[in-house]
Chain A
């Protein structure tokens, strides 16, 4: 009786040890150096300059393989004395969605399965601007604007008190010194707590591998902005960080056919956005939530 027990126990023990060793061995050997480096990568803010260079080089090589194009990944930091602000003229938005697709083109979003759009234009009935419950997201008339309706584009509001930053368990999202709320796509664990916390539905999720046709890829990218992302990480509007830090207007500002979109440095007295706040009646969405968004809606006429 004792012997049989001994043998069976031995057998179970040997089997489990062998299985564990085999699994570990196979996973280690199938791990390339690149995959190991990517796995062990630190959070962007913690990296030294040398580490950042190494990461950029590795990523550029990876994108070259994946898309057949040479990407330029910038890590340009924030300029001093800068706080980016956005203005949106609700009296002029006609809901044409040109901004949505200009953003998609500039920022390398997944086109389908899933389709990611950082800007969502909602249609509201005239006379009821604040009640979003009656909004229509999927309007598709022959022509816009439709009589009796106004249109309000919504994207990440880059709050000064961002609730998404507060709740991230690994600090994968943070507010840069120039006010842009960014995500380190290599640090995000995909828990989607930030998406639950955002009152503006500013954040979207890559539910599968992003489908980005190589011929449509934009190669002028920023590490924290529009570089091609991964499966199961979150992303959102970055105020076109790759453009504004060099002084260029964001893609949506340039795309709008009615000139409803305005952008500038809130700390510069002569900027367009300061002029708007000074001379026009501005409001921000859901101000009672105290998130202090930097996205100002106004009526120019």
Chain B
């Protein structure tokens, strides 16, 4: 009897350690606060009391401004947003992640980019690379998750021509 207890205790301990190990493999990166729209988070403030309609459709009542241009044929909202808890995102295997860890969600399909991002060569880092706080921009800091294509920007002024005089326009 005592032997069975000891073995099961060890098994539980091992399982706990493995679980811990599995969790620690999800590295933590110093990221800024996700760029939520004003007042939208936490989502549960509206969704906690709502019924979940899991039917794939175009939304008519709320979130009408979100037009999905990101594998729209293959997926819809509830493939990434967890149906039960809107404050979390849903990975393909059913696991939940915070919005601060949204990169894990993106990384499921965009593996090369995720690998590059973790190494620091995709995306942007600011702050200190040594001896201070380094900040990794989240995917969503640059790419709107619903419409990720990078939008063109207006370029800054070209340099002055060689003999051009006077201050730059508008400065």
A and B touch in the complex (CB under 8 A): yes
Report chain A residues within 8 Å CB of B167. 111-112, 211
Chain B residues closer than 8 Å to A263, beta-carbon distance? 129
Chain A residues within an 8 Å CB radius of B60: none
* A300-B155 contact given A247-B128, A263-B129, CB 8 Å threshold: no
Q: Would you give the 0/1 interface string for A251-281, flagging 1 where the beta carbon is closer than 8 Å to chain B?
A: 0011011110011110000011001100110
Residues of B within 8 A of A246 (CB): 128, 131-132
- Which residue of chain A is the closest to B160 with respect to CB atoms? A115
- Are B116 and A247 in contact, CB atoms less than 8 angstroms apart? no
Q: Determine if B168 and A259 form an interchain contact, defined as CB atoms under 8 angstroms apart.
A: no
**Contact (Cβ within 8 A) A89 B132:** no
B168 is contacted by which of A111, A145, A264, A301 (Cβ under 8 Å)?
A111
Report how many residues on chain A are interfacial, defined by Cβ distance under 8 Å. 48
Q: Which residues of the partner chain B approach A63 to less than 8 Å between Cβ atoms?
A: none
Decide if B154 is an interface residue (CB 8 Å cutoff). Answer: yes
Specify which of B122, B131, B150, B168 is in contact with A247 (CB 8 Å cutoff): B131
Q: How far is the CA of A101 from the CA of B150 in the complex (A)?
A: 21
- Which residues of chain B from 116 to 171 have a CB within 8 Å of any chain A CB? 116, 119-132, 137, 142, 150, 152-161, 164-168, 171
* Contacting residue for A140 out of B122, B125, B127, B158, CB 8 A: B158
A144 touches B153 (CB 8 A): yes
The residues of B that contact A120 with a CB separation of less than 8 Å are 159
Q: For residue A96, which residues in chain B have a CB less than 8 angstroms away from its CB?
A: 153-156
Docked CA distance A35–B166 (Å): 30
Nearest-neighbor residue (CB-CB) of B151 within chain A: A143
Residues from 91 to 124 in B contacting A, C-beta threshold 8 Å = 112, 116, 119-124
User: Pick the contact of A143 from B132, B137, B152 — CB < 8 Å?
Assistant: B152
Cβ of A210 under 8 Å from chain B: no
The answer to whether B137 touches A259 (Cβ under 8 A) is: yes
Which residue of B is nearest A97, CB measured? B156
| Chain A, Cβ-Cβ closest to B118 | A275
Residues on the B chain within 8 Å of A89, using CB: 121
Do A300 and B116 touch (CB < 8 A)? Answer: yes
How long is the Cα–Cα vector from A254 to B171 in the complex, in angstroms? 22
Asked if A142 is at the interface of the complex by the 8 Å CB criterion, the answer is yes
Q: How far is the CB of A152 from chain B (nearest CB, A)?
A: 14
**A117 CB-CB contact with B under 8 Å:** yes
Asked, given contacts A97-B156, A143-B153, A249-B128, whether A115 binds B168 with beta carbons under 8 Å apart, the answer is yes
Q: Which residues in B have their C-beta under 8 angstroms from that of A97?
A: 155-158
A283–B124 CA distance with the chains assembled, in angstroms: 21
Tell me which residues across on chain B come within 8 A of A257, comparing CB atoms: 124, 142, 153
Which A residues lie within 8 Å of B159 (CB)? 100, 115, 117, 120, 137-138
Do residues A140 and B166 form an inter-chain contact, with CB atoms below 8 A?
no
Residue among B116, B126, B155, B166 making CB contact with A95, cutoff 8 Å: B155
Given the complex, which residues of B lie within 8 Å of A111, measured CB to CB? Answer: 167-168, 171
> In the complex, are the beta carbons of B120 and A272 less than 8 A apart?
yes
B39 CB to nearest chain A CB (Å): 26
- What are the residues of chain B within 8 A of A272 when measuring CB–CB? 119-121, 125, 129
Q: Is the beta-carbon distance between A276 and B132 smaller than 8 angstroms?
A: no
- A residues bordering B, Cβ < 8 Å? 87, 89, 94-98, 100-101, 111-115, 117, 120, 137-145, 211, 246-249, 253-254, 256-259, 262-265, 271-272, 275-276, 279-280, 300-301
Please list the residues of chain B having a beta carbon within 8 angstroms of any beta carbon in chain A. Answer: 112, 116, 119-132, 137, 142, 150, 152-161, 164-168, 171
Closest 7 CB pairs of A and B: A259-B124, A247-B130, A143-B152, A247-B131, A97-B156, A272-B120, A115-B160
Q: List 7 A-B contacts (CB under 8 A).
A: A97-B156, A139-B158, A144-B152, A246-B128, A248-B128, A272-B129, A300-B122
